[in-house]
Amino acid sequence: MDIKFINRSTNKVEIERPPGEGLLKFLYHNAVGKGAILPIVKRKFVSEWYGRWMDRPASRKKIASFVNSLNIDMSEYQKSIHEFESFNDFFYRKLKPGSRTIEKGLVSPGDGKLLAFKKVSDANSFFVKGKEFTLRRFIKDDDTADKYRDSSMVILRLAPNDYHRYHFPYDGIPSKSERINGIYYSVSPISVSEMFTEVFYENKREICRLKTQEKGEMLLVPVGATMVGSIHSTYKPDAPVKKGDEMGYFAFGGSSIVMLFKPDSFKLDKDLLENTKNKLETAVKMGEKIASD
């Protein structure tokens, strides 16, 4: 399967070629890979072991080929290729000040491919038939699930070549993150198309409640994935934050951020909703407007 998405700046369909595309297809679409190898790969110790290897100085030799093969624009970042101490140091690299514009309204918390749903229940028409998405299993808190059952939902998927720090999409006061431990399925569409519910119900994730002054509370949920050993929060809980302030970062691998908010708080941009209805993600950058306030 091809991973198709909309380039928002050109409004044209493009195809994403993720690192390890062949391996992902083998693991999630081949009977042998899915039955014998995937149960090992998704286990926590595998991601943590690989994450530790990516912290070693020897892993630096992978950086140049990774950048070249995926056409990463290093002019946006604070360090050059040769200044990183390890592959992970490169992977959660920091942007240069001014590399992203923080626009009006509700903005994307990071770089990646985005899906937008007016209501949580709308997500069920996007993914595999018969695999219903329920907040109770995702959040694992009945009261919170009831509170957000009619909310709008945004899913931002970060591919391995994307900028892997994520930021607050609106001004507010964030709670301490509530951790939900789990395993590590890939969040690539190659895997999600087959195992949507498993990815969002079983992967490690953290829930942050962002209280805003005028728009009520929203949930921000970073979701880890294959070869992402941990989710690193960098903000101070219960202290005011501004839109665009850093919230945290992921170590090596793909990952996602799920946002939930009341539908009368923000009006999702029409193009994002239309692209999602057409079963296409939209490429966005951190700080780019995704909804009007």
The tokens for 234 are: 């960098």
For residue 186, pLDDT beyond 70: no
Confidence at residue 28, expressed as pLDDT on a 0 to 100 scale: 36
From 108, 191, 233, 255, active-site residue? 255
Q: Would you give the DSSP letter of residue 176?
A: P
Q: What values do phi and psi take at 283, rounded to 5?
A: -75, 125
Rounded to an integer, the average pLDDT of 135-149 is 93
For residue 110, which of 150, 158, 154, 147 has the smallest C-alpha distance? 158
232 part of the active site: no
Structure confidence at residue 254 as a pLDDT band (50, 70, 90): low
Burial of 259 (0-12, 13-18, 19+ CB in 10 A): buried
125 is catalytic: no
Average the pLDDT over each of 18-27, 71-80, 130-139 and give the range with the smallest value.
18-27
Q: What integer best gives the mean pLDDT of the chain? A: 82
Given the residues 111, 164, 177, 269, select the one marked as catalytic. 111
Residue 102 confidence (pLDDT): 98
Residue 52 pLDDT: 62
Stretch 119-131: mean pLDDT? 75
Is-catalytic flag, 255?
yes
Give me the residues paired with residue 210 across strands: 174, 218
The residues spanned by each domain of the chain are: 3-56+102-292
Give the confidence band of 227 by pLDDT, cuts at 50, 70, 90: low
Strand order in the sheet with 165-167: 165-167, 246-250, 231-233
